Amino acid sequence: MVPLEQLVAPAVVIDVSARAAADADYRLTPQDVLAWETRHGPVPEGAIVLLRTGWSARWPDKKRYLGDDTPGDASKLHFPAYGKAAAELLVRERKIGVLGVDTASIDHGPSADFIVHQVAAAANVPALENLARLEGLPETGAWVIALPMKIAGGSGGPLRVVALVPR
């Protein structure tokens, strides 16, 4: 069970949209996180970290969003996400509360081992995927409310994510 405090928290937005535009399989690096911290200070403990790749602008074009649209075949997917080392830094060292991304997964498209899911799950850190409109959020200062629906027996669930942005 994920405590409510973990799902209502300050947002940290890390923008890798330029890198992702150049590399569909881009993965967030520890250097990206450290560069963000150089500009804004340490990632706060308990923060909801949102990775802005720019991919939500590709929706609903399945081929552009997922990198492939072959029915029943996930072996050719291409989209950016978190890298293992960055996820470990955020989850284990910064002790963040949630990982979120504007792509289909917190693991990049070609992932076969889903290592970022493993890192997050081992620390009871939920993932928010397929997020929209991250381009409207500042890198700091917003709060996120992410309340999932309870679905019996499911491995995930739909949720409504709302960001409160300072004026």
pLDDT tens readout for residues 91-139:
999 999 999 999 999 999 999 999 999 999 999 999 999 999 999 999 9
* 4-164 is classed CATH 3.50.30.50: yes
In whole angstroms, what is the distance from residue 123 CA to residue 91 CA? Answer: 7
Q: Could you tell me the pTM of the whole model?
A: 0.95
The CB density around residue 72, as the number of other CB atoms within 10 Å, is 4
In this predicted model, what pLDDT tens digit does every residue of 70-97 receive, in sequence order? 988 888 999 999 999 999 999 999 999 9
In whole angstroms, what is the distance from residue 27 CA to residue 134 CA? Answer: 17
In whole angstroms, what is the distance from residue 167 CA to residue 159 CA? Answer: 25
Helix (H) or strand (E) holding 48: strand 48-52
In this predicted model, what pLDDT tens digit does every residue of 21-58 receive, in sequence order? 999 999 999 999 999 999 999 999 999 999 999 999 99
